[in-house]
Amino acid sequence: MDCQHSPHIRVFVDRKKNGEPVFESVPVREVGEHTYELLSSPGLALNMARGDIICTAIPDQHVEVVRRGGNFCIHIYANELPQNAVDTLESEVQTLLGGTLDGRYKGNLTLAVPASNGFEAIRPVFDRFREATGVQWYYANIYQNLDDDEDETLLNWWV
């Protein structure tokens, strides 16, 4: 699906130091009032991935995930990345895991990977990327507490 021509909504990401909200625009398919299916995983907003059904009834708070679409969202943040490393990662994610590179902005990547692969199959693909580039990756939709980076309590929605 061509997400550039799909409707987009703004989802809450965080607050600036002055309290002003920060939003990200994401492509969606409307399924009800304030309820949408994500057509691509977000690059900044946490706790959601492509295929999730989300509710945005309270615009300046984190969205509510009504139903999981079955994908892990994986974020990679860097100043820049070698194109060959990105190409290799995209190819391996697609062929080995059935996932997609949902977004790229400069050195930042957002990928959606079916959770049905399991952590043990996903980890080696991304660890090879980390070894080749020195850039860390992380799951963006597996933790309960979005406002505390130290809290690693898992949501366990994939179990």
Rounded to 5 degrees, what angle do the CA atoms 72, 78, 79 make? 150
In the three-class reduction of DSSP (H, G, I as helix; E, B as strand; rest coil), residue 83 is classed as helix
CB atoms closer than 10 angstroms to residue 128: 14
Quick check: 8 pLDDT over 70? yes
Where would I find the H helices in 58-109?
A: 83-97
- Averaged pLDDT, 47-76: 96
CB atoms closer than 10 angstroms to residue 152: 10
Per the listing, tokens 């100043």 go with 79
Count CA atoms closer than 13 A to 103's CA, side-chain side: 24
In the three-class reduction of DSSP (H, G, I as helix; E, B as strand; rest coil), residue 108 is classed as strand
Question: Which one-letter amino acid corresponds to residue 146?
Answer: L
User: Which one is the CATH code of 71-139: 3.30.70.120, 3.30.70.260, 3.30.200.20, 3.40.50.2020?
Assistant: 3.30.70.260
The 10s digit of each residue's pLDDT in 108-124 is 999 999 999 999 999 99
Distance CA(158)–CA(142), nearest Å, equals 9
The 10s digit of each residue's pLDDT in 34-60 is 999 999 999 999 999 999 999 999 989
Task: Give residue limits of the domains in the chain.
Answer: 3-67, 71-139
